[in-house]
Chain A
Amino acid sequence: MGRKLVSLAIAIGVMGVRPAQAEPAVFGGIDVRTDLGTQWMRAGAAVEIGRLSFDAIVDPYGYWTREQHDSEVLAGWALWPAGWSLMGGWRVSSLPLLGTRYYQEKAILGLAAPLSALPLRHLRARIGFEWAVTLVRHGPDLPTFWLWQEDELHGGSFNLGLVLRLEAGGAL
């Protein structure tokens, strides 16, 4: 499902670029992805001030099921108005393990771009590519491991994701 939505977004994206947002704006919507780094769909909110953006993404399904849930904050800087943004942020993954919860703290680096051609004025879509690396894992009664303490760097310490954000909102 996530993969199809992202493919659709890419198709839409080649049709044009959304005009630059001149005034501060807020948006809220869903975040879907193709990989297994998090649940395939989460919810998010974004604030844009000129070329600067801030995102907060939460995981209602994960909170509800008490299985793995991932919460993150991202900041972005548009390399040119309404163009590709360089994104960086922090994700906290929490998951049940041996009767307690284990936390994985991940740094995120990525690129995101606005897409256009959505029919309604207050809707927008963004696509992003992100790379997350687990810097530390910790939890009550469980071992703490920093990235550099790992015996062997497995693929599981890294996560490459293709993300689509569908949002509603507008200028304040």
Chain B
Amino acid sequence: MIRGRRTSLFALLLLAACDRRPQAILMCHNSNCAHATDPAADDTLASLEDSLALTYLGRPPIDGVEIDTLWDSERSLCLFAHDFDKPVDELAMDAVDRVTEHMLGAGAITWDGVAFRVKIESKAAVTPGGADHSADDLAAHQACVLDMVDRLLEAAVAGDRELEILLEGEDIQFVRSLTAHSRWPGKDPGEGLAIRLEANVKSAGLAPDDLVSLTGGDKPDGIDVLAFHSTRFPDGQQQAYEALDVDLMLWMLDASLETFYAAEVYHPEYVNTSEAVLLRRWMED
């Protein structure tokens, strides 16, 4: 009898020791994790609302959303879009308003019960032809992003929510210069509030000394989070990312074997995906 109990206890300990699926912070890619396989639904207010309303096992499956901003230099508009092909104009600030309404509501707004995360990604092109920011474009686009940040921070305080904002630019210079702006609130703008700088491994101009992990944690314009995409290519590249000792964000359009593999092997801090519900089910399986 005692021997049997010991065997059961041993089996339980073995089960407890087994590695669980990675428990990453799950972000809603392009504000669209309600219509995952429909890229036309990316970066639309309707999809954002649907995504914020998702539930799984009685709580939100996501921990945050991504809002893309695109500066239209010809019309001086700060758009909620990832390119100029979007058929209707929707403003980035309107997307922020949907998020702040959500934050001001009652009940849980994240799966992990911690901070709500908003990733703001600023696109590099300012015309349909792909022109880069002029000095005026950069000033206007950054003012738009800082307006978004201000409104999100205000809502977090008003709603008594913890909030983490991740700022990314396709061009690393956009993020670097943002931290030198007179309106820059700093990486720690208040209790329960945080702003983190993010770069994609493909960001133009990214260098080793941009990473806080390689230069010391107090670098004010240092990159805190590095985003990467996993596809069926040799995996040495991804092995190298983990050696940088920086928080990783795995991003994907649709889930694939490679992305699940990368999530299991490289344990990213964040997963940014349109397949958020699928990923949540997989993580909890």
B197 proximal to A (CB < 8 A): no
| A143 with B214: CB separation less than 8 A | yes
Stretch of B7-15, B32-40, B81-89, B232-240 that contacts chain A: B232-240
Contact of B239 among A38, A62, A100, A157 (CB under 8 A): A157
Say how far A91's CB is from chain B's closest CB, in angstroms: 10
Contact of A67 among B209, B210, B233, B235 (CB under 8 A): B233
Contact of B208 among A96, A137, A142, A155 (CB under 8 A): A142
Say how far B262's CB is from chain A's closest CB, in angstroms: 9
| A154 with B242: CB separation less than 8 A | yes
| A68 with B208: CB separation less than 8 A | no
| B234 with A156: CB separation less than 8 A | no
B16 proximal to A (CB < 8 A): no
| A99 with B236: CB separation less than 8 A | no
A17 proximal to B (CB < 8 A): no
Say how far B166's CB is from chain A's closest CB, in angstroms: 19
Q: Note all chain B residues with C-beta closer than 8 A to A100.
A: 207-208
How many B residues touch A, CB cutoff 8 Å? 28
B176 proximal to A (CB < 8 A): no
A11 proximal to B (CB < 8 A): no
Q: Nearest CB to that of A97 among chain B residues?
A: B240
Say how far B147's CB is from chain A's closest CB, in angstroms: 31
| A95 with B236: CB separation less than 8 A | yes
Q: Note all chain A residues with C-beta closer than 8 A to B208.
A: 98-100, 141-142
A104 proximal to B (CB < 8 A): yes
A71 proximal to B (CB < 8 A): no
Q: Note all chain A residues with C-beta closer than 8 A to B266.
A: 154, 156
How many A residues touch B, CB cutoff 8 Å? 29
Q: Which of B233, B236, B238, B264 has the most CB of A within 10 A?
A: B236
| A98 with B211: CB separation less than 8 A | yes
Contact of A68 among B205, B234, B241 (CB under 8 A): B234
Q: Nearest CB to that of A35 among chain B residues?
A: B235
B206 proximal to A (CB < 8 A): yes
B280 proximal to A (CB < 8 A): no
| Distance of A15 Cα from B97 Cα, bound (Å) | 69
A27 proximal to B (CB < 8 A): no
| Distance of A134 Cα from B242 Cα, bound (Å) | 13
Say how far B175's CB is from chain A's closest CB, in angstroms: 14
Q: A102-B240, A137-B240 are in contact. Are A39 and B234 (CB under 8 A)?
A: yes
Say how far B26's CB is from chain A's closest CB, in angstroms: 20
Mark A86-119 against chain B: 1 for CB-CB distance below 8 A, else 0: 0000000101111110101000000000000000
Apart from A99-B208, A154-B239, A156-B266, what 10 extra A-B contacts exist at CB < 8 Å?
Answer: A36-B234, A37-B236, A67-B233, A67-B237, A97-B237, A98-B211, A99-B206, A141-B207, A142-B244, A143-B244
Q: Report which A residues bind B (CB closer than 8 A).
A: 36-39, 62, 67-68, 70, 93, 95-100, 102, 104, 134, 137, 141-143, 145, 151, 154-157, 159
**Can you name 16 A-B pairs with beta carbons within 8 Å?**
A36-B234, A70-B236, A98-B207, A98-B210, A98-B211, A99-B207, A134-B239, A137-B239, A142-B244, A143-B245, A154-B242, A154-B265, A155-B264, A155-B265, A156-B235, A156-B265
Q: Report which B residues bind A (CB closer than 8 A).
A: 201, 205-211, 214, 232-245, 258, 264-267
